[in-house]
Amino acid sequence: MKVWLLLGLLLVHEALEDVTGQHPPKNKHPKEPGENRIKPANKKVKPKIPKIKDRDSADSAPKTQSIMMQMMDKGRFQKPAATLSLMAGQTLELRCKGNKIRWSYPAYLDTFKDTRLSVKQHERYGQLTLVNSTAADTGEFSCWGQLCNGYICRRDEAKTGSTYIIFTEKGELFVPSPSYFDVVYLNPDRQAVVPCRVTVLSAKVTLHREFPAKEIQANGTDIVYDMKRGFVYLQPQSDHQGVVYCKAEAGGKSQISVKYQLLYAEVPSGPPSTTISASANKVKGGDDISVLCTVLGEPDVEVEFRWIYPGQKDERPVTIQDTWRLIHRGLGHTTRISQSVLIVKDFDMADAGYYICTAQNLRGQTSVATTVQFS
């Protein structure tokens, strides 16, 4: 009897220990604040405002994405690298996504209206194809989409693509030039470029003066070398003029470029500096007269002339001749002189009055006038 009583007490004791060891059910008997052994943290958590701002600013800024793809073999496409090197003779096909695509490519292909180049606009993309490529085709190929409002369109800077393509041709280290001698004008207010571009990325290129014979250092301050442009004179000066050429070395071979005549231009940029003069300001009937319009300007800037003269309304016959030439004005300075002469034969009363000459270049126009009287 005593044994059973002791056994019963032991069982009751164990049952009570199990009950006291159990945790209260969740959400039914929440702990009082004082019973929580973990101290509540008083540290304030800072919101990650900078990251939110960065994300917002990134989303608000227009995202520029390359829309250009290069056609590879077996119908594959890939985005072209910033600089590509292809073997001459290969067919180049570029595509740019968009229904209004414009293209830019080496001016050489436009100058000679090369039939090897084809540019087409399809419904969803623009396509540029160049067959039988040569080293002379080396240059920048780019495309861009357009944002149009009616007939007025502007470039979409968020949708562009470009790649500089070098076409490597056996025996050619330099991009071929259409002539054996070229002129580079040195203007004091802008950069000048000696366009020695290579077709081998690893080529070492140096610049040389013909006389006195010496290498011209590209020191990075006055002269720098840009693979896509050539040797760039950052601040041209009169003592830079002379005949120069480039030398390229690659793979144990060397090659000399065409020669470049560097001419310093003393005339500043701007509208034409124009003068006008007549062979006589008083002319008798039946005599001949000439009126000369002269412009002194930059060597490489073309000038166009227009005339207004008294006999124009009566369709009086006149002869107009336009010419230009380069002149040296001391200290090695070079200027382009452009002239237009208007000739009137068998002068008559209808030819008397104001002769107005207007000279125009890319930077503006200038009008001058003189009077011729009948005597």
Higher pLDDT, 208 or 153: 208
Range in 111-115, 130-134, 282-286, 336-340 the model is least confident about? 111-115
Do 201 and 155 lie in a common domain?
no
Do 358 and 283 lie in a common domain?
yes
> Checking DSSP bridges between strand 68-71 and strand 65-66, what pairing results, if any?
unpaired
Percent of the chain clearing pLDDT 90 (strictly above) = 48
Do 161 and 193 lie in a common domain?
no
266-277: buried (b, 16+ CB within 10 Å) or exposed (e) per residue?
bbeeeebebebe
Q: Choose one of 145, 168, 191: the last residue of a domain.
A: 168
Domain residues for 287? Answer: 273-374
Q: What pLDDT does residue 12 have?
A: 53
Do 100 and 158 lie in a common domain?
yes
Locate 239 and state its tokens: 């003592």
Do 80 and 162 lie in a common domain?
yes
| Residue 265 burial class via C-beta count within 10 angstroms: exposed 0-12, middle 13-18, buried 19 and up | buried
> Considering the entire predicted model, what is its pTM?
0.60
Do 108 and 164 lie in a common domain?
yes
Please write the tens of the pLDDT for every residue from 6-47.
556 666 556 555 544 544 444 445 545 444 444 444 555 555
Q: Name the one residue in this structure whose structure tokens are 């039939």.
A: 115
CATH of the domain at 237: 2.60.40.10
Domain count, the chain: 3
Locate 288 and state its tokens: 């001949």
Cα torsion for 204, 208, 213, 219, to the nearest 10°? -90
For residues 213-228, give the mean pLDDT: 90
Q: What pLDDT does residue 58 have?
A: 44
For residues 125-133, give the mean pLDDT: 93
Please write the tens of the pLDDT for every residue from 238-277.
888 889 999 999 988 999 999 998 888 766 667 888 999 9
Range in 55-64, 98-107, 166-175 the model is least confident about? 55-64
pLDDT of 205 > 60? The answer is: yes
pLDDT band at 368 (very low <50, low <70, confident <90, very high): very high
Measuring CA to CA, which residue among 140, 252, 251 is closest to residue 201?
Answer: 251
Do 108 and 76 lie in a common domain?
yes
